[in-house]
Amino acid sequence: MTWLIFALMTVLSWGVYGVFLHTGQTQMQDPINGRYKAFLFVGFAYFIVAVIGPFLMLVLSGANWKYPVPGMAWSLIAGIAGAIGAFCVLLAFGAKGSPAVVMAIVFAGAPVVNSIVALWQHPPKGGWGAIPWPFWLGILMAAVGGCLVTYFKPGPPQAKKPAAAIEQKAVVASNAPAETH
């Protein structure tokens, strides 16, 4: 069951990714280039985690240093796809997409795309017609779930009026002449 722990850790880390990235973008205090500055630090983080981490694991495990071309090519394609996806999340935020909506679409749509591409690369025994109907129902439910989460996302809290404005309004109201009937 160790795989499940790692899968849930991925859910947690990818689940906070969009919100943290958007926060980093806004904290750059640069409305034009803040998103690119934030993504630059995502790249630094990828270097730390995705280059240094595996390098240490390979050294510590005594792995051989043979890299077959097909393995390198597909791994590079996967990295490019992941980086493009992460960059597009950032561009979606820059185009006024909220993290809650953007990430709901991403995390509802990605499993659907993943399932279709995996089936295309590795067709099931008996062909596409042998796929049980609950699988297709799950695909539909994932898509509908993403739509529902996006459409019915709770709005942001109402902005509180500054205390000075509330006090000023109270002073004006108390100085107003009383109405007579």
Digit-coded pLDDT (tens) for 78-111:
999 999 999 999 889 888 888 888 888 888 888 8
Residues composing the chain: 181
Same domain, 61 and 21: yes
Same domain, 6 and 92: yes
Report the phi/psi class of residue 62: left, alpha or beta, with left for phi > 0 and alpha for psi in -120 to 50.
left
Report the domain count for the chain: 2
Q: What's the confidence (pLDDT) of residue 90?
A: 87
Q: Is 130 inside any structural domain?
A: yes
pTM: 0.72
Q: Is 32 inside any structural domain?
A: yes
Domain final position from 58, 76, 97: 97
Q: What's the confidence (pLDDT) of residue 151?
A: 82
DSSP 7-60: HHHHHHHHHHHHHHHHHHHHHTT-TTTHHHHHHHHHHHHHHIIIIIHHHHHHHH
What residues make up the domain containing 56?
1-97
